[in-house]
Structure 1
Amino acid sequence: MLIDSFAWIEYFMGTEMGVEVKQVVESDVQLYTSPIVIAEIYSKSLRTDGRAEERRNFIVKRCAVIPIDEEIAVEAAKIHAEAKKTMEDFGLADAFVLASARYKNVRVLTGDPHFEDFSESIML
């Protein structure tokens, strides 16, 4: 399972949704992340709580990082182009997360409404 930035933020904030994420993080499920997720969490932490390195280390100790390569980049472009037809604010970062999940054939744990219509999503 790939844990999206939205889910990690809820986890680190200790919200009700974060408790659901914690159950997954502490389970035996193989966890994945994308460098995009690491960048989003790192940036948010630099702007809010100054715990960027701590957060990054926590994530990479628990998740296999799926490297972004040409295949993932092309898939992300296709996802992005298609999604933009119906969601004007669908970001390329979200497309990279979905492309990474498809590459590993895993689901994405998130609460981000941009992911609602994708079969790979497990919505919090």
Structure 2
Amino acid sequence: MKFVVDSYAWIEYLDGTMMGETVKKILKGDNEFYTLSLIVSEVISRVKRMDQDVDVAYNAIISNSKIIQLDSEFSKEAGLLHAKMNKEIKNFGLVDSILLLCARKLRAKIVTGDEHFRNVKEAVLIK
């Protein structure tokens, strides 16, 4: 199975919380894992602001998942999906739309704790 891991899930994993343990179990499975490059940026920013070890966080992400870069066509599609999703789910973020589009293109599930994904079929909530 394929999974796209979002920043919420990575942060819980790195913090070693109960939800992070759920992420850890998913990561131990015989699956494929993907992380968007902008998710790496979000996680690193949060880790630095919390005075935690940036290298540990970075290495955990890149050693456990394939990093996906966005191109201009994907960005256009993500913008269109964001406009649609924001009408359906209040405050559905642009990054959420990018994650959702990525999951759909990969035929993957999104590992997240973000409530915006509560009724999204592609999501696996860790809460």
| Partner in structure 2 of residue 35 of structure 1 | 37
Distance apart, 1:96 and its partner CA:
1.2
Rounded to whole Å, the distance in 2 between the matches of 1:21 and 1:116 is 17
Identity %: 35
Structure 2 counterparts to residues 8-23 of structure 1, below 5 A: 8-23=10-25
Structure 1 gap ranges (5+): none
Paired position in structure 2 for 1:65: 67
Alignment of 1:83-122 (within 5 A): 83-122=85-124
Matched, 1:5 2:7: yes
**RMSD of aligned alpha carbons:** 1.4
Question: Following the alignment from structure 1 to structure 2, what is the Cα–Cα distance between the partners of residues 104 and 62?
Answer: 17
More strand by percentage: 2
Count of residue correspondences? 124
* 1:85 Cα deviation from its structure 2 partner: 1.4
**2:119 & 2:76 partners in 1: Cα distance?**
20
TM-score, with structure 2 as normaliser: 0.89
- Matched to 2:116, the amino acid is H
2: CA distance, partners of 1:49 / 1:63: 24
